A and B are shown apart, each in its own frame.
Chain A
Amino acid sequence: MNILTPFEYYRPETLDEALELLATKEDYKILAGGTDLMIQLKEKMIHPANIIDVTQIPELNEFAIKDGEGAVIGGCTTDAFCEFSKELRDKYPAFSIAAGEIGGPQVREMGTIAGNLANSGPSAETPSSLICYDAKMTLAKKGGERVVDVKDFITGNRRNILEEGELIKNIILPEPAATTHVKYGYVAMRRMMEIDIVNMSIRVDLDGDTIKDAKCVMGSVAIRPLISEKVPEVLKGTKIGDEAVIAKAAEAAQSEVHPISDIRATAEYRVDVVGALVRKLLREIAAEAK
């Protein structure tokens, strides 16, 4: 009945214990919800000698959100928690909605935010909104911690900057200003249980009805989340909701992506979807800002 390659299983109860294990065990994989890792084990894509289950560590399960002080989300916070937390839904709606679009309900109860980031899949649901909210993450290893920007974390398809012996402790979301608007959108084959053809988050910072600053981050169009350079240039200094500007922003984003054709969509269709999502999200922000 065993279809997995043998491994030893460890379940540290404290962060120190976990970091010690990570520092001393060679050939390990960290296990959180297992919704990506178990599949990789079953598919024999990986053969770790040791599995280190980090779900019981208190620091990875903390959740703090305060008025004016942003939020700190432990790495093992589940996708479902982020979907259903009213506080997160109110303050970081684009992120909460994105977390609620991962897999199906059972996958979201198991899957964690650190797992979604560390898996670093090109179509991952949560990175684009986290990057738009300027989120940071705390990475811990024996002997020290570092805080990095989520935007610098993923470097390629299933590649990131995690070092040997390091884990994601938490994700830090700064307090958004009342004039900051972030929207998340995606296109996929069905509404549930799908992998996105393209997903996208757009952030707009307003001064009255003038766009002071903007960000556009796209998923599933490159080997890592693609941060647009041209969309902010097009948007800055313009009035929110100006259809001519919206059309130009959509074209700007389309000119930057070089997606692939795969089983889910052709490259050409993905480029169309990029334009459609830019228009949709900018119109949603304009409606919200009114």
Chain B
Amino acid sequence: MKNQLITLNINGEDMDLVVAPTDLLVEVLRKKAHLTGTKKGCGQGDCGACTVIIDGKAVLSCLTLAIACQGKKITTIEGIADRKTGEMNPIQKAFLNHGAVQCGYCTPGMILSSYALLCENPHPTRQEIRRALSGNLCRCTGYILILDAVEACAAEGGVL
């Protein structure tokens, strides 16, 4: 097994990275691309802390091989703020304004699952929000405030 030079499109930028075929996307993002916003919790697909968006869909970077992401568009929590101004995305602001962040460990995943939902369904019902976030655990259990934040963001014009 040899290391290989691959190109990954992360947050709109092509990055050349040396990876082994066995490298998981979550590790490559954190340790090789130095984007530590993506968190690793269970590593088993259960917690959603490692959620990133690939080609518009919220998926789990702990169950994804980095080498399998060539040619795809990866968005991490670092990639949803305004690229030029650095201004936060409305969904990030909504989380702050509603106190939806406690320790913050689940937050990048929660925000990206919410972001992917609002891109596809700009006016979700409370039930649809609950369902879309059912793969993200918050051990600080701040779920109600998180749902409030997503609802408010949708009502105030969405994420785009």
Contact A35 B135 (CB under 8 A): no
- Residues from chain A with a CB closer than 8 A to the CB of B23 are 1-2
Q: Which residues of A contact B (CB under 8 A)?
A: 1-9, 11, 31, 34-35, 38-39, 42, 51, 53, 55, 80, 103-107, 109-110, 191-193
Chain B interface bracket (under 10, 10 to 19, 20 to 34, 35 or more): 20 to 34
The 9 closest A-B pairs by CB, nearest first: A104-B135, A192-B134, A9-B21, A4-B22, A6-B1, A109-B57, A38-B63, A106-B135, A105-B135
B62-88 CB mask vs A (1 if < 8 Å, else 0) is 011101101000000000000000000
Q: How many angstroms from the CA of A144 to the CA of B85 in the assembled complex? A: 57
A110 and B60 contact, Cβ closer than 8 Å, known pairs A8-B21, A34-B65, A42-B43: yes
Q: Measured between C-beta atoms, what is the minimum distance from A256 to chain B in Å?
A: 33
Q: Once the chains bind, are A105 and B21 in contact (CB under 8 Å)? A: no
Contact B51 A106 (CB under 8 A): yes
Name B26-82 residues within 8 Å CB distance of A: 27, 31, 43-46, 48, 51, 57-60, 63-65, 67-68, 70
Nearest residue (CB) in A for B2 is A8
| Complex CA distance for A8 and B65, rounded to whole angstroms | 12
Closest Cβ of chain A: how far from B64's Cβ, in Å?
A: 6
B92 CB-CB contact with A under 8 Å:
no
Docked Cα-Cα span, A35 to B134, in Å, equals 16
In the assembled complex, the Cα of A53 lies from the Cα of B27 at a distance in Å of: 20
**CB of B131 within 8 A of chain A?**
yes
Least CB distance from B142 to A in Å reads 18
Which of B21, B67, B131 lies at the interface centre, i.e. has the most chain A CB atoms within 10 A of its CB?
B21
